[in-house]
Amino acid sequence: MSSKVNLLNFTRADMEVFFAEMGEKAFRANQVIQWMHQYGVDNFDAMTNLSKSLRAKLEDVAEIRTPEVLIDQASVDGTHKWLLKLDSGNSIETVFIPEKNRGTLCISSQVGCALECSFCSTGQQGFNRNLTVAEIIGQVWVANKALGWDPMANGKRERIISNVVFMGMGEPLLNFDCTVKTIEILVDDFAYGLSKRRVTVSTSGVVPALLRLKEVSDVALALSLHAPNDELRDVLVPINKKYPLDKVLGACKDYISGDTRRKVTIEYVMLEGVNDSVAHARQLVKVLKDVPSKVNLIPFNPFPKTQYKRSSDEAIVRFRDVLIKGGLITLTRRTRGDDIDAACGQLVGIVMDKTKRGLNVDNS
């Protein structure tokens, strides 16, 4: 492990403190943040608006170290997946999904996941540790580099990555501090400058952390719901036993309160014969009637040793039509990247499982 300070762990406020302790002016933080995140520079010598003496000083005590790309896979539909090496044999996966009017990067927040959602490949392979800020924001840095983003192309900053979603490996609200710091970097105009509506945190329902999140951020929120009642959700999303539906949905309503334009995105994986009946759809309409929301129906993406099957197209359409008739904004998510195991619920990476329950499957 390097003894140098990895500057990718720093928000701009952190960087200002760092430079103050070096006896430097606070504006140096703005310059270095821009070089790192807007220009993708990881070499202090390339930071030409810093003095030679400061560059030499930084070289002695600091570094800009990102996860190492082990595998870069491209799907036939344009989706990209990277397997990124961390430490001690651990690796994570990051996915880029291009669309006509935007490019979405799905980033991981933990090595594995401790929540054991039964339909999710990540949740079945165990948990090792939280990611650092450098390892989370480093996924954005690496993806921009790999996709060939040139911030000054044709004299204007055309984004390739326009949206970032915390929907990769792990539960972001169980890595609260690092998630919040990463958000701060993503929306910082000296870094990536994303609109807060283009950054989405997805949670399985860690209620205390969700209530804390409202105090420090108002980025977009997605809830991994997947069941319209507590009995079924206890099986699919075991954290529901600790934070049942009424508490989770109450916390979601509280998070977006005060802005009538905001909605919670409800994620609902469609599992054949499990949660996809018309009766389930009617229950979901009832459960969400007072929650400003939009529903994303997600066709299940299979992985090795799973017990579940994807709902038929006909079942998904029937389910969707009941929700729409019940007044819910509902979309069916198009499966992307499943030929490279990059679709929702398929990310696994390589996890040195500390829980002794994981499959340790590498689908890369």
pLDDT tens, the chain, 364 aa long: 678 999 999 999 999 999 999 999 999 999 999 999 999 999 999 999 999 999 999 999 999 999 999 999 888 888 999 999 998 778 999 999 999 889 999 999 999 888 888 888 776 778 889 999 999 999 999 999 999 887 666 445 568 999 999 999 999 999 999 999 999 999 999 999 999 999 999 999 999 999 999 999 999 999 999 999 999 999 999 999 999 999 999 999 999 998 889 999 999 999 999 999 999 999 999 999 999 999 999 999 888 888 899 999 999 999 999 999 999 999 998 776 555 554 454 445 555 556 554 433 333 3
Q: What are phi and psi of 187, to 5 degrees?
A: -95, -5
What span, in angstroms and rounded, lies between the C-alpha atoms of 179 and 189?
18
Give the pLDDT of residue 345: 46
Give the pLDDT of residue 358: 43
Residues 6+ apart with CB under 8 A from 61: 4, 5, 22
Q: Spell out the domain ranges in the chain.
A: 5-63, 68-340
Catalytic residue ranges: 93, 344
Q: 68-340: which CATH architecture? A: Alpha-Beta Barrel (3.20)
Sheet with 91-98: list strands edge to edge: 68-74, 80-85, 91-98, 103-106, 163-166, 199-203, 220-224, 264-270, 293-299, 329-332
Give the pLDDT of residue 153: 61
Instruction: Give first-to-last CA distance, the chain, whole Å.
Output: 26
Q: Taking a C-beta distance cutoff of 8 angstroms, is the pair 171, 112 a contact?
A: no
Q: What is the distance of C-alpha 63 from the center of its chain?
A: 25
Q: Is the pTM of this model over 0.85?
A: yes
Q: What are the structure tokens assigned to 319, written together? A: 């389910």
CATH topology of domain 5-63: DNA polymerase; domain 1 (1.10.150)
